[in-house]
Amino acid sequence: MATEYEGTVEQVHRAFRDERYWLARLTESGADAYSLDRLILGDDCGIDIVTTQKILASRLPGVVQQFHRGDLTLIREEVWSPIRDSQAAATVKLRIQDAPAHLHGSATLAPANPGTASRLDFNATVEVNIPLVGGKIENFIGSQLVDLLVHEQRFTTVWIAENT
């Protein structure tokens, strides 16, 4: 997956280092409850972020409710490198508490139009260890990831415009 930001690599990376950005992004996420569990800013300008988001059971799609009782708690970790050679890279992990599902991936943020825009390339693997139906749930999660990436890109673009 890929998306473009109306902000430079430096502007996007700076937003990722800002606690106000993460709190606002979580507020806009649509989750019923959320927390910014960790935001560690490395001396080298690396970033380590952990967030938790909860979606109430009543809002979950039927396919998910069939295999997961109760609310859905998603724990997401992103570890961003410092900017090197005009790019930043990240590892991303997502696990669903009390469910046999997880995601792991990598991202690269690079210039798309030097001085004005950047591009995020994201590769992820989703694994749901439920016999017979795991693949259907993996496909559902994959489609939701595309929507999430677009939502986060729009949010970040607006954040940069309003906060730089």
pTM of the predicted model, to two decimals?
A: 0.89
Give the count of beta carbons closer than 10 Å to the beta carbon of residue 98: 12
For the domain 2-163, what is the CATH code? 3.30.530.20
Give the pLDDT of the chain (164 residues) as one tens digit per residue.
899 999 999 999 999 999 999 999 999 998 899 999 999 999 999 999 999 999 888 888 777 777 778 888 999 999 999 999 999 999 999 998 888 888 999 999 999 987 889 999 999 988 888 777 677 777 777 767 777 888 899 999 999 999 97
How far CA 28 is from CA of 25, 32, 66, in Å, comes to 5, 10, 27
What does the domain layout of the chain look like in residue ranges?
2-163
